[in-house]
Structure formats: structure tokens, C-alpha cells
Amino acid sequence: MDKFEYFSGLPEVGIVPRAPHVGPLLQHVHEQEHGRGGFAGRVSHTYHLYPPNNWLPGETLVVEDWAPHWESPLRPLGGVHHALGVARPPEPSDVYRGMARLVANATVAMNVTAPTAPMDYFFEHHSATLVVFVHEGGGTLETLFGPIAYGRGDFLVVPKGIPHRFECAAGPQYYWVYESFAGDPEKSEAPTTGQFITHSRSDYRFPRTLDTRNEAGRFEIVSKVGSVYTRRVHPTHPFDVVGWRGDYLPYRFAVEDVRPLTADRSHVPPSGHTVFTLPGCYLCVFTVRAAEKEGMWLPFFHRNLDYCETIGYHWGDFFSRGGVIREGMVTVHPVGLPHGPQPAALQVFMDGHRPTLHREVGIMADFANPARISEYALGLSQPDYMQSWGAYTTDPRFTHRAGRLGEVRAVAEGLADARDELRPRSDTP
Ligand SMILES: [Fe+2]
């Protein structure tokens, strides 16, 4: 025993050798490496009671139509905004069999699942790291590295290849599931604002409780590579891990731990609310925050020329949508097509009303060009969403009138050079 205690350079739990690949312990436990980048990237090692490839001979088979909506055909997307209603699977289905694809580009996909049945298998995604957002529900995510309890408003990051299983609690469950095919999510932070905005790595919760299973039986693992689903059967429980070490790990991150950047005098653009960057996508959280005290507190009209925007509406008032969107819905705004506040919201702004708080939580995932939408998503699309801006063509406040140009010229005489109230003044001591 050393006189003092020390941290090692890598997280570790349980029984592990002094270093990967070395020492006499490896004659008694079975080391497995989980490595990215062709053994040159991030890596973890798990130490098992039994060899991890002890599958039963002759029992491995490709399963056809295992998760049909997950493979919903993708269609080109453009020129029309979509608001997707809340998905309800027609038959009892578990987290993965009931998964339905909504939007995808070459490197990232967004899916939805509303499980009502337990998983009687373990799952490994061999093509993607998963970022799950729990819109509704909770339970325990059982993983090779130990269990992670989760609830409403949690992100769960499950790295590519890691065996896991959702043990859902009683009650409704509704998750948005993002697949990242080309890399793991990276924490977003701007060089000028540092590592604690919009959250801290100390907010991540990695499993630390090993739940080692020394059990015999028939344990099914379903893996996914692209659209190929394969089932294999093992005679021992896959979570026979007595220890692990490394930094390639699943974790939980609570949306309530997002501490957003706000600005009194300018509207922070959506990208300022990014929490994770993925190859070809960035994930943002619009959360409860102080409203701007001056200037635009609504989003400006905009067209995003390189990204298709999706927002999953989790909780709140969704001020800019003018009451059109309910919790659980997803909007899809394709590249290039202008959008912005609904007329009712813009009227509130023009009338000079200003909230003190933005009371909303929305999860935005923006997909780099080209993005496509699934047939399943088109089936959820609300036919009247494009009409939600319709008052811009009927409300006299927004429609053509002969004197409009003159009005703007007149008002600009006094307002074009108007200064902020909050600025430092030359007459202030
Ligand atoms: Fe937008």
C-alpha cells in the first residue's frame, strides 16, 4: 500500500491489470479492447469472466425486417417546412424494434422511438454512436461498463459497439435518437468563452457501479450494421465484466445542466447554444434563459443555406412558434427556405412586449447538406404547417399598402440611429 493516494491517468473501476495488455492477471480474466480509429483513437478495456466471443455455434442469423421503420426510405427534402406530429407506434414494440427514422444525411440520422415493450435482448450498434434524448420516461440503461439511471430531460451517449439494454420504468416513454456514423459527439465550446459554457465535462455522469453477472443461460445480442440486423446467442451473460479502464465510455448528461450563453443587447444565434458537434451535424439546446433586454428577442427571419434544421420540442411555451407547436413535435426546416417567427409572435414583439424569460426547452439538430426526410416522417407531417405563417398574407399589419414605403422612411428618420438604452453614456460619470 502506498503512503499516499493517487489518480491514474485513465478512469478505471474494479479489477484491472496495472496497464492494458500486461501482467499475470491476464492469465485469469479476459481482456477486450473497444477501440476507435483503427486502434489509434479513443479506447477502453473491459475484463471478463468468459471470452466475449463465446457465441453458440450455428445460432447466428441475419434477421429480416427487424426494425422496419428504422429503414424507412429517405426522400429528397426541400422547399416545404414540415411539422411532425407525435409518433405513436401501432403495435407494442421495444426501444430498437420500434425505432423510426425521421431525417438523415450521410453522417448523422435522427430517429424517434416510443417503446411500450421490454427489450429481451442486448443491442450493439456497429455503425454509429448513439445520442439519445429522453423526452418522456426513464429507467436504467444497462451497459457493459455498468448501469446508468436516466429520466426525462437526459441525454444518453452510447458509443459505437458498446453492448447495452434499456430497462424502462413504468409509464410512457418517448426518445429522440441521433446516430452519428462518422465520429463521437464532441463537447462544443467557443475559444473565447471557455470550457464551462454551455456546460462542463463535470456534468457528465459515467457509470461507476459494476453489476457483474456470473450467469449461464441463453443471452441474445442484436447488432446493426447499416440496414443489416444480426442476432447471436451467448451461453453466459454479456455483462460478466469485473473491471474496466479507459475513456471510451457511455454517459448521461442532463439538459438542466445546460447553462446557456445569453446577451442583453443582441440575439444569440442558434449555433451559440450548441452542446455537441458531430461530423455533419451540430446539436443545440434552447433552454430556460433570460430574454434579451434590448434588440430582437425573437429569432430573426433567416434562411440556413448549408444545414437542414430540426427541433424537437421538449417543454415550454415555444414563443417563436406562436402556439403552433406542442411538446413532442419536431419541426424540419429544409436548407435555404426562409423561416422565422409566426405572425402572432411577431405581433407581440412589434407591440413592444418583452418577456423576462424564455420558458422553453428544445433540442435542435442541424444536418449539413444534403439531408433527406423519411417516408415515415412524411406520414407524420401536419398538412397545415406552411399555413401557420398565413397571417403574413392576410393581416393588414403585414400586407401591402400604398403608403408603406413612406411610413418606413418617416419612422427611420428618428430611429435608424437610435442607440441602446444599456450602453455606456458619455454623460454618465
Ligand atoms: Fe431556423
pLDDT digits over 136-192, tens only?
Answer: 999 999 999 999 999 999 999 999 999 999 999 999 999 999 999 999 999 999 889
Q: In what order do the strands lie in the sheet with 148-150?
A: 61-62, 228-236, 216-225, 122-125, 164-168, 139-143, 148-150
Report, as an integer, the average pLDDT of 103-108. 98
**pLDDT tier at 89, thresholds 50, 70, 90:** confident
Q: What is the Å distance from ligand 1's center to 309 Cα?
A: 6
Ligand 1 centre distance from Cα of residue 207 (Å)? 36
Distance 52 CA to ligand 1 centre (A): 46
Q: Does the pLDDT at position 221 exceed 90?
A: yes
Sorting pLDDT into bands at 50, 70 and 90, what band is 427?
low
Task: Give Dmax over CA atoms of the chain in angstroms.
Answer: 89
Residue 1: pLDDT over 70: no
Q: Residue 127 C-alpha to ligand 1 middle, in angstroms? A: 29
The predicted model gives 275-297 an average pLDDT of 96
| Residue 260 Cα to ligand 1 middle (Å) | 18
Average of per-residue pLDDT across 341-345: 92
So what's the pLDDT on residue 323?
Answer: 64
| pLDDT band, residue 424 (cuts 50/70/90) | confident
Q: Based on C-alpha coordinates, what's the Rg of the chain?
A: 25
Quote the ligand 1 centre to 158 CA distance (angstroms): 28
pTM reported for the whole predicted model: 0.96
226-262 tens-digit pLDDT: 999 999 999 999 999 999 999 999 999 999 999 999 9
Cα of 263 to ligand 1 centre, how many Å?
Answer: 19
Contact 141, 240 (CB under 8 A): no
Contact criterion met (CB below 8 Å) for 27 and 254: no
> Which residues make up the environment of ion ligand 1, defined by Cβ < 5 Å?
309
| H-helix or E-strand spanning residue 376 | helix 375-380
Residue 321 has pLDDT above 70, yes or no: no
User: What are the residue ranges of helices labelled H in 278-336?
Assistant: none
Torsion of CA 1, 244, 133, 67, to 10 degrees: -160
Distance of CA 329 to the CA centre of its chain: 15
Quote the pLDDT of residue 91. 78
Q: How far is CA 159 from CA 91, 143, 279, in A?
A: 29, 11, 15
Residue 250: other Cβ atoms inside 10 A: 21
Are 253 and 203 in contact by the 8 Å Cβ rule? The answer is yes
Rounded to whole angstroms, the Cα distance separating 345 from 389 reads 10
Cα 79 to middle of ligand 1, angstroms: 14
- C-alpha 107/C-alpha 181 separation (Å) is 5
Residue 322: the pLDDT is 60
How much distance in Å is there from the Cα of 220 to the middle of ligand 1? 43
Q: How far is the CA of 303 from the centre of ligand 1 (A)?
A: 7
CA of 333 to the centre of ligand 1 (A): 7
pLDDT confidence bin for 354, thresholds 50/70/90: very high
Q: Which amino acid appears at position 416 of this protein?
A: A
- As to burial, measured by CB atoms within 10 angstroms (0-12 exposed, 13-18 middle, 19+ buried), residue 289 is middle
- The SS3 call for residue 252 is strand
DSSP per residue, 50-113: S-TT-PPTT--EE-TTSSGGGGPPEEE--SS-EEEPPP--SS---TTTT-EEEEE-SSEEEEEE
- CB distance 16 to 45 below 8 Å: yes
| Ligand 1 centre distance from Cα of residue 95 (Å) | 29
Q: Does 383 score more than 80 pLDDT?
A: yes
Query: For 177-222, what is the HEC assignment?
Result: EEEECCCCCEECCCCCCCCCCCCCHHHCECCCCCCCCCCEEEEEEE
Q: To the nearest whole number, what is the mean pLDDT of the chain?
A: 95
Residue percentage of the chain with pLDDT more than 70: 98
- The C-alpha cell that represents 224 in the structure block: 446493426
CA 393 to ligand 1 center in whole angstroms = 21
Q: How far is the CA of 180 from the centre of ligand 1 (A)?
A: 22
Instruction: Kindly state the cell numbers that stand for 369.
Output: 447538406
Measured in angstroms, how far is the CA atom of residue 345 from the centroid of ligand 1? 15
Report CA(252)–ligand 1 centroid distance (Å).
Answer: 27
pLDDT-derived band of residue 393, with 50, 70 and 90 as boundaries?
very high
Give per-residue burial for 335-358: e unless 16+ CB within 10 Å, then b. bebebebbbebbbbeeeeeeeeeb
**pLDDT computed for residue 194 by the predictor:** 93
Half-sphere exposure of 64 (CA within 13 A, CB side): 0
CA distance 326 to 310: 15
| Contact present, 97 and 223 (Cβ < 8 Å) | no
Looking from the CA of 301 toward its CB, the CA atoms found within 13 Å total: 7
Q: Is 311 helix (H, G, I), strand (E, B) or coil?
A: strand
47-64 pLDDT per residue, tens: 999 999 999 999 999 999
Ligand 1 centroid – CA 331 distance (Å): 10
Q: How far is the CA of 310 from the centre of ligand 1 (A)?
A: 8
Ligand 1 midpoint to CA 166 (Å): 33
Q: State the distance from the centre of ligand 1 to the C-alpha of 296, rounded, in angstroms.
A: 15
> How far away, in angstroms, is 65 Cα from ligand 1 center?
35
**CA 288 to centroid of ligand 1, rounded, Å:** 18
How remote is the CA of residue 301 from the centroid of ligand 1, in Å?
8
**Cα 340 to middle of ligand 1, angstroms:** 7
Centroid of ligand 1 to alpha carbon of 347 (angstroms): 19
CB 278 within 8 A of CB 180: yes
Query: Which residue shows C-alpha cell 425486417?
Result: 65
